[in-house]
Amino acid sequence: MIDSEQHPYVEWIAREARRPVVTDPAARERVMAAIRAEPAPAAHVPLWRRIVEPRALTLSPAAIGLLAAGLVGIGVLAGGFAMNRDGRMVDQPRVGVAPQLPVSDTVVRFVLVAPQAETVSLVGDFNGWDASKTPMARAASNGVWTVTLPLSVGRHVYSFLVDGKWSVDPNAPLAPDDGFGHANSVKIVRRGSVL
């Protein structure tokens, strides 16, 4: 029985798959060219005559079974995934996985001079861009805000939120706008040191 309340993901797949495809008109031309090269179909048979179903178009259960057996391999090749006989997927290594740098942490201090600010937080890929995760602390006298945290080796993109306003790090290279209208800052972290 089919669940009449279709899962939204399945509904989405069906909807996308239902989109019309645009074909090359030349392909249709090729079909007609092949048709025109054919002898005319057998003389018109009056439709009132009883006509036997062409045997080629029905498959016996055994034939279907054979096809199914043969076709299981197709799924493997077409999809790049492996399947065992009863159709269950077997994990395959994904194509072209990029080797990862060993993950280790280096402690990094971020500094921002903002004497007028009341709240400053550090927001970036290391804290899921969550402004509540890494608030910065203000040194009493000089308007210097800092925070120190471990970062994994590699490239990090971040920005500061100063009293609700976004600010890049003036002393770090810029990262281009990701599509939200703001550039960010970049920090390259090396094992045991920070560039």
Partner 1 sequence: MSDDAADVQRVLAGDVDAYAALVDRYYDRCARFAIRMLGNRDDAEDALQATFLRAYRALNRYQERDRFSAWLYRILVNQCRSIAARRAHRERVFVREEALLLNAPDRTVAWSGEDEEFVQRVLNELDPLLREAFLLKYIEEMSYEEMSALTGVGVSALKMRVKRACDRLRERWERIKND
Partner 2 sequence: MRLHRPPRFALGLSLAALVALAAIRPVAGQDATVDRLAKLDQYNRAAVELMLDSAATLGLPVSYLRSVAYEGIQRKADGRAIVRAVRKQFDLLKTARATLGTVDSEELTAAAAVLGAGARPNQLATFRAQQKAPSRLEAFAVWADLLTRGVPAEDAFSGLSKLWVDGADDATFLRLWKNVQSDILQGLNPGTALQNRIRETPVRASPQVKPPEGQQENQSSR
Asked if 84 contacts 90 with a C-beta cutoff of 8 angstroms, the reply is yes
The yes or no reply on residue 89 touching partner 1 (CB under 8 A) is: yes
The answer to whether 42 contacts partner 1 (rule: CB under 8 A) is: yes
Which residues neighbour 130 within 8 Å (Cβ) at sequence distance 6 or greater?
123
Query: Which residues, at least 6 apart from 154, have a Cβ–Cβ distance to it below 8 Å?
Result: 101, 188, 189
Our finding on whether 107 is near partner 1 (CB under 8 A) is no
Map the footprint of partner 1 across residues 140-159, applying CB under 8 A.
Answer: none
Query: Other C-beta atoms within 10 Å of 85: how many?
Result: 8
Contact 168, 184 (CB under 8 A): yes
The dihedral built from the CA positions of residue 124, 127, 132 and 134, taken in this order, carries a sign that is negative
57 binds, among partner 2, partner 1, none (CB under 5 to 8 A by kind): partner 1
Number of residues that bind partner 2 (CB under 8 A): 60
Binding of partner 2 by 155 (CB under 8 A):
yes
What does the alpha-carbon distance between residue 154 and residue 131 come to, in Å, rounded to a whole number?
22
179 interacts with partner 1 by CB under 8 A: no
> Counting contacts by CB under 8 A, is residue 30 touching partner 1?
yes
Should residue 98 be labelled a site residue for partner 2 when binding is judged by CB under 8 A?
yes
Residues at the interface with partner 2 (CB under 8 A): 4-6, 8-9, 11-12, 15, 94-101, 107-114, 123, 125, 127-131, 148, 153-155, 157, 166-167, 169-180, 182-184, 186, 188, 190, 192-195
